[in-house]
């Protein structure tokens, strides 16, 4: 199914915001300029700008134009700080779905690519924006309901020439593979937030306007550097995140 023209325009402007071509606080081209640039009607351009506004990426100032929003610096509330590694770790980086034992969580095939690191990924991996990273992507569904998008980012100097660059599952998981490469994971940090979805997330989750997504950024560390950043994206109206610490009696466990 062909993408609507206004969505195509919004996607191209969003890409310019994401890659830094359009900087925070910068004024977007005027509506007449966008009409000429994209060979579109004025109403189509306005729909594209409205979509970006609803996603919190731009703001319109009366009589001045439309500007790229300054990214909000979130406050951080510390849920817990556990200094010991988990006694058992899954070989998979996929967070398990535990609320419905009758439903089987399914994931799509692994898609692997090299791509330039965005500013947010580069910050977590302590590399420069635009540096190449290896990205391993999966989508997840439970029954017919899409519930998760996952992307794991690996610095190229670690992943180059290893199975991390190859499509398909890694037999013993990426945590074991990284340890075998000399980058044993000593811990990770989870950062959890919510935002409005981009067009790919909106389409994958089949969202209605106004529904946010929940994003978990998990950055894993060896003793002297970050070695992986995994981003989990969930639809905000269908997913709860459970955090269990300590010796919880089994009858109170989720799932």
Render pLDDT for 104-155 as a digit per residue (tens, 0 to 9): 667 676 799 999 998 899 999 999 999 999 999 998 888 778 888 999 999 9
Q: Range of 173's domain?
A: 105-252
- Whether 97 shows a pLDDT value over 60: the answer reads no
Q: Are residues 109 and 17 in the same domain?
A: no
Confidence of residue 91 (pLDDT cuts 50, 70, 90): very low
Which pairing describes strands 226-235 and 213-221: parallel, antiparallel, or unpaired? antiparallel
Evaluate whether residue 86 is within a structural domain: no
- Give the chain's mean pLDDT: 85
Evaluate whether residue 192 is within a structural domain: yes
Tokens for 184, please give them: 């044993």
Residue 164: DSSP 8-state: G
Confidence of residue 76 (pLDDT cuts 50, 70, 90): low
Average pLDDT of span 241-247: 79
Over the stretch 200-215, which tens digit does the pLDDT of each residue have? 888 889 887 778 899 9
Q: Are residues 59 and 120 in the same domain?
A: no
CATH number reported for the structural domain that contains residue 27 in this entry: 1.10.10.10
Q: Are residues 111 and 62 in the same domain?
A: no
CATH number reported for the structural domain that contains residue 138 in this entry: 3.40.1410.10
Over the stretch 138-152, which tens digit does the pLDDT of each residue have? 988 887 788 889 999
Q: Are residues 113 and 182 in the same domain?
A: yes
Tell me what pLDDT residue 195 has.
Answer: 86
Q: Whose structure tokens read 């310019």?
A: 16
Over the stretch 10-22, which tens digit does the pLDDT of each residue have? 989 988 888 888 9
Q: What are the C-alpha distances in Å from 159 to residues 91, 126, 174?
A: 17, 15, 10
Q: Are residues 125 and 215 in the same domain?
A: yes
The string of DSSP codes covering 79-144 is: -----SPPSS--SS-SPPP-S-TTSPEEEPPPEEEEEEPPHHHHHHHTS-TT-EEEEEEEEEEETT
What letters, b where the CB count within 10 A reaches 16 and e where it falls short, cover 171-200? eeebbebbeeeebebeebeeeeeebbbbbe
Tell me what pLDDT residue 189 has.
Answer: 92
Residue 27: DSSP 8-state: B
The string of DSSP codes covering 168-229 is: S--TT-HHHHHHHTT----EEEEEEEEE---HHHHHHHTPPTT--EEEEEEEEE-SSSEEEE
Q: Are residues 217 and 112 in the same domain?
A: yes
| Number of domains observed in the structure of the chain | 2
Evaluate whether residue 57 is within a structural domain: yes
- Whether 72 shows a pLDDT value over 80: the answer reads no
- Whether 51 shows a pLDDT value over 90: the answer reads no
Tell me what pLDDT residue 164 has.
Answer: 94
């Amino acid at each position: 199914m062909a993408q609507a023209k206004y969505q195509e325009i919004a996607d191209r402007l969003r890409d310019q915001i994401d890659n830094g071509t359009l900087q925070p606080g910068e004024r977007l081209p005027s509506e007449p300029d966008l009409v000429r640039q994209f060979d579109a009607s004025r109403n189509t351009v306005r729909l594209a700008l409205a979509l970006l506004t609803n996603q919190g990426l731009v703001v319109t100032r009366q009589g001045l134009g439309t500007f790229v929003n300054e990214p909000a610096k979130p406050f951080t509330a510390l849920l817990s700080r556990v200094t010991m590694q988990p006694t058992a770790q899954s070989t998979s980086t996929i967070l398990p779905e535990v609320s419905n034992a009758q439903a089987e969580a399914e994931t799509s095939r692994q898609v692997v690519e090299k791509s330039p690191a965005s500013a947010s990924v580069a910050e977590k991996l302590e590399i420069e924006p635009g540096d190449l990273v290896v990205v391993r992507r999966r989508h997840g569904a439970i029954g017919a309901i899409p519930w998760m998008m996952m992307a794991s980012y690996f610095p190229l100097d670690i992943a180059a020439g290893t199975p991390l660059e190859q499509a398909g599952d890694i037999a013993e998981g990426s945590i074991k593979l990284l340890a075998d490469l000399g980058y044993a994971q000593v811990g990770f940090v989870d950062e959890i937030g919510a935002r409005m979805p981009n067009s790919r997330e909106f389409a994958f989750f089949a969202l209605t306007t106004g529904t946010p997504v929940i994003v978990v950024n998990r950055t894993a560390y060896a003793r002297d550097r970050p070695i992986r950043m995994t981003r989990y994206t969930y639809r905000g109206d269908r997913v709860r995140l459970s955090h269990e610490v300590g010796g919880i009696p089994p009858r109170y466990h989720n799932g």
